[in-house]
A and B are shown apart, each in its own frame.
Chain A
Amino acid sequence: MSGLPHQPRQPHQPRLTRLPRLPRSRRVRSLGIACFLSALAAVITGPSGDADHPLAGITGSFAWPRVIIFVVAALGLWAALLSGGHLASPVRALSARARAAMMPSTSMPPTPGGDGAGPPAPAGPLRRIAAPVTGRHGARLGHLALLAVALAVPPVLSTAAQQALVGEIGVYALLALGLNVVVGYAGLLDLGYIAFFAIGAYTTAYVTSAEAMPWHAPWQINPFFALPVALVVAAVAGVVLGGPTLRLRGDYLAIVTLGFGEIVQLLANNADGVTGGPRGVFGLPPLSVDLPGVRYSWGLNPLPYYYLLVVLIVLVMVVFGRWERSRTGRAWTAIRQDEVAAEATGVATIRMKLLAFAVGASVSGFAGVVLATKQFFNPQSFGLQASLLVLTIVIFGGMGSRLGVVFGALVLQGTAFLLRDTVPPADRFIYFGAVVVLMMIFRPSGLLPPRRHRALPRQDVPGTPAIPAAAGAGLVGAAVGATAGAGQDSALAPGAAPGPAPLPAPGASLGSGASLGSGDAPEPGPGAGTGPGVGPGAEPAL
C-alpha cells in the first residue's frame, strides 16, 4: 500500500509524448463517443413528449438555442477524450497524494454533457483536509472532521432539507450500507433487498402499536426495543430467503431475489387482514426514551431522527469496519473473487454467504424501524424502484466502501433533492440509470472505492475481445492478481506482459474517460502491443 504513489509514474511518460500522433480512427471514434454522449444528455435534459407527439421531446431537445450548448459540450468532451493522457496524469498524481494521506480517493469520472446529470465531486475540500496529515492518524482526523460536519451542519438547514436528510438520504445511506455487505463484500447481487426494509417496518408496527395494523403483538414495547427485534426478524428473513437460493449462480440469484422482493410487496398489499393492505400503517408511536431522569420523544421534527440515523450509521460503519478486517471479511472477499477457489481453500461459502445476507438484511431492518416510527408507510413504499435506487447508490458510492456508499446516498439523493424543482421526480431514474451504466463502464469501483479495493475478478465472457497481447495480459494479470492477493493493493500481477505498470490509484481515469475498467488492475503499458493503452480508441482487433 505504501510507497506506491511515486514510482509508477515513469512508464507513462512516453504515452504523453506520443499523444499528438493519435491514430485517425481513434480521433473519429472519440468524436463519435463525445457526440453520442452529448446528444444523450441533450435528450435527457430536454423537454418531455407524449404519446400523441412522441418526437416532440427529441426535436425540442435539439431546438435552436439549446443545441449550441450541447455542440460545445460535445467538442469539449472530444478535446478531453483526445488529451486524455495529459489530463489524467496530474489527476493521478493528486489522487495518489490523497491516497498517501490514507484518504479515500476522490477523483471523479467525467460527466458527459456537463449538465445536471453529473453529481458534484466532493473532491476539493476533502483533499484539503487530507493534505497536511498523513498515515492512519490522518484518516482518523479526516473521519472525525467529516463526522463533525455531519453533526454541525443540519441544524442550520431548512426543515425541508432536514426531512430529505432523514427520509431520502439517511435512511437510504443505512440501506446502502446493508446492501453493501451483500453486493460489495460478498459479491452477491440482491435485487429484492428492499423487502427486508419492509419486513423491518412491518415488524415495528407489529410490536409497537395495537391499532396501526390489524395484526399486532399481544403486548406493545417501546419503539427503541423494536430496533433489536426488527434486526433479528430481518436477519432471520435473510437466512430464510438465502437458504434455498444462495446455491444459485450470481445472475440467477439476482432474478430470484427480485422475485422475492416483488412477492413481499404483493403479500403486504394483499394480506389486508394482517398488514392493513394498501391502507398502510399509520399512527405508530414515535421513538421515545423514558428513563429516570431522561425523557425524550422523537416527534415530527426531522432533526432528532437525523441524529439518531447518524448514530446508527456510524455504529454500523464501525462494526462493519471491524468485520471487514476480520476473518469473516476476508472470507467474503475470497468468495467475491472466486467462489470455487474460496471453497477449495476451506471457506464455508454457503455459511458465509448466508451470513452476508443476514447481516445486510438486519441493517435494513434498522432502517425499517426509523421509517415506521417516523412516518406513514404502505406497500407502495417498498417497490422495485426503491431496491434499484439502493443498488444505484452502492454502485455510485463504491461497492465495498462504507464511506463511499454513505457519500453515494448523500450526493445522489442530495442532488435529486436540490434539483427537485428543475428535474421532475419521475425523471430521476433516467439519470440514475445513466449513472449506473457509466459507472460500470468508466469507474466500476465507484466514487470512493474501498481502500483495499482490488479488481473484481475478471471472468472470461465469451466474445471478450479475443485476446490480443495487451488485453490478454490484463486479463490474466487481473485474474492472477485477484486470486493471489488477499491484502496487498498493488500486487503487480506476475502474469502481466512486458511494460504493464500498476496504476497508483483506483480508477484514475479522469479525462481519458475510459482508460481502464477497474482500479488497480495492471494497465497494459505502451509496450504491450496495441498502442497507447486501452483507451476508448484502442479497439482490439478480433
Chain B
Amino acid sequence: MGSAEQISQLTIDGLMVGALYAVIALGYTLVYGVLQLINFAHSEVFMLGAFGGLFASRALVPDGGATPSGLASAGLVLFGLGVGALAGATAAYALERCAYRPLRRRGAPRLAYLISAIGASLFAFNLAGKEFGRQSVPVPELFTNGTVLTVFGAEISTQSLVIAASALMMLLAVDHLVAGTRLGQSIRAVAQDAECAGLMGVDVQKIIVATFVLGGLLAGAGGFLYAMTFNASYTMGFVPGIKAFTAAVLGGIGNVRGAVIGGLLLGLVESFGGYLFDASYKNVIAFAVLVAVLLVRPSGLLGTRLGRPA
C-alpha cells in the first residue's frame, strides 16, 4: 500500500464516518437552535433507532438465511432506515415529553434540563441493555458487500456507498426542509425569537416537538447506518453522540450546514489523527477539537445560528 493510496483510503473512511456524525449532529443543532439546550440524551435516541432498524431487518432476514440482492436489498435497506427513523422519532418524542416538557412547564433552570437529560440517558441505555441484552448485535447482511470502485487506490465498498448515499439524501432533505418549507420557517422563527414567534401565531410547543421528532428521525436512521458497520449495542450511543456534538459545535451549533461541515471535518481529523498517533486516541482527538473550538471560537466555523441568514 503506497502512501497516496493510504491517504485516499483514510480520506474515504473519514468522510464516511463524518457523514454519520453529520446526520446525528443535525439533531443536536436543531434542538439547540430552538431551545438553546444541549440534548444530552440524543445519543440514546440514536441507539434506540439502531435497535429499531436492526430488529425490523432481522425479522425479514433471519440469521443464516441467504443474503438478498438487487431490488430486495435496496428495499430492505430503505425499510431498515425507515423503521430506525421511526424508532428514533418515537424515542425523541418520549424524551421530550417525559424529561423536558415537565421541566419547561415548571420553568426549571437550565441546569435542570441537562441533569434530567443525563438521567434520561442513563435510564434509556441501561433499560435497552436489560431488554435487548448486553451483547453487541449485528445487522443481518442486507446486500453482498464487496469493493465497488477504486478511487486513487482506495477501495470503496458497497456498504460505504450505501451509507454515503443515505446520509447525503437525508442531509439534502433536511436542508431543504429547514430552508424551504413552512415547517422550516417556523423552526427558524422559534430559533430566532420564541416569544415573538409565539405572538406571531406559531405554535411554539408544536414546533419544539417537531424539532425533536425531526432530530429523532435523523438520529434513528443514522443509528441504523452506524450499526451496519459497527454493530449495535446498548452503549453504542455515547461516543458517537459526543462526537456528533463536537461536530455540531465545530460547525457552529444551531447551524444546519455547519453541522454537516463539522461532521465531515471531524471524521477526517479523526481518521488521520487515529492513523498518525494511535487509534485509541481518536476520542481524545475529538475532545481536544471540542475544547479547542470552544475556547478559541465558540461560535464555530460558520458561526451563524439557525434562522439567521447564513
Contact = CB atoms under 8 A, between A and B. Distances in A.
Touching chains A and B, CB distance < 8 Å: yes
Interface of A: 43-44, 48-52, 54, 57-58, 183, 187, 189, 191, 244-245, 247-248, 250-252, 254-256, 258-260, 262-263, 266, 270, 384, 388, 391-392, 395, 426-430, 432-437, 439-441, 444, 456-466, 471, 474-475, 478, 514, 516-518, 534, 539-540, 542
Contacts of B40: 254
B119 A263 contact: no
B245 interface: yes
Interface string B279-310: 01101100100110011001000000000000
Interface string B83-94: 000000000000
B112 A444 contact: yes
A517 B106 contact: yes
A258 B55 CA distance: 32
A471 B107 contact: yes
Nearest to A472: B107
A43 B122 contact: no
B183 interface: no
Interface stretch (B156-164, B198-206, B267-275): B198-206
A463 B194 contact: yes
A455 B228 CA distance: 47
Nearest to A465: B105
A193 B193 CA distance: 35
Nearest 4 CB-CB pairings of A with B? A436-B119, A433-B123, A462-B194, A433-B122
Of the listed residues A245, A254, A461, A516, the one surrounded by the most CB atoms of chain B closer than 10 A to its CB is A461
A244 B207 CA distance: 36
B133 interface: yes
B114 A254 contact: yes
Given A50-B133, A426-B129, A542-B204, A461 B104 contact: yes
Nearest to A389: B122
B124 interface: yes
A433 B127 CA distance: 10
Given A57-B130, A433-B122, 14 more contacts: A54-B55, A248-B298, A256-B291, A262-B283, A395-B119, A427-B130, A433-B120, A433-B123, A434-B123, A444-B108, A456-B111, A461-B110, A463-B190, A516-B106
27 contacts: A52-B133, A191-B118, A244-B291, A248-B294, A251-B37, A252-B298, A263-B287, A270-B278, A270-B280, A426-B126, A429-B126, A430-B122, A430-B130, A436-B119, A437-B119, A440-B99, A440-B103, A441-B102, A456-B109, A461-B104, A463-B34, A464-B105, A464-B107, A517-B106, A518-B106, A539-B105, A542-B198
Contacts of A426: 126, 129-130, 134
A430 B111 contact: no
A462 B290 contact: no
B176 to A, nearest CB: 24
B195 A392 contact: no
A426 B122 CA distance: 12
Contact of B205 (A57, A258, A542): A542
Contacts of A517: 103, 106-108, 112
A365 to B, nearest CB: 23
Contacts of B169: none
Given A255-B38, A433-B122, A244 B295 contact: yes
Nearest to A515: B106
Of the listed residues A259, A432, A439, A457, the one surrounded by the most CB atoms of chain B closer than 10 A to its CB is A259
Contacts of A458: 107-109
A207 B242 CA distance: 35
Given A259-B291, A429-B126, A461-B110, A266 B283 contact: yes
Given A251-B38, A429-B126, A458-B108, A262 B287 contact: yes
A517 B124 CA distance: 23
Contacts of B130: 48-49, 57, 426-427, 430
B75 to A, nearest CB: 22
A57 B131 contact: yes
Contacts of B129: 426
A250 B198 contact: no
Nearest to B33: A462
A50 B107 contact: no
B119 A434 contact: yes
B288 to A, nearest CB: 8
Contacts of A392: 119, 122
B22 to A, nearest CB: 18
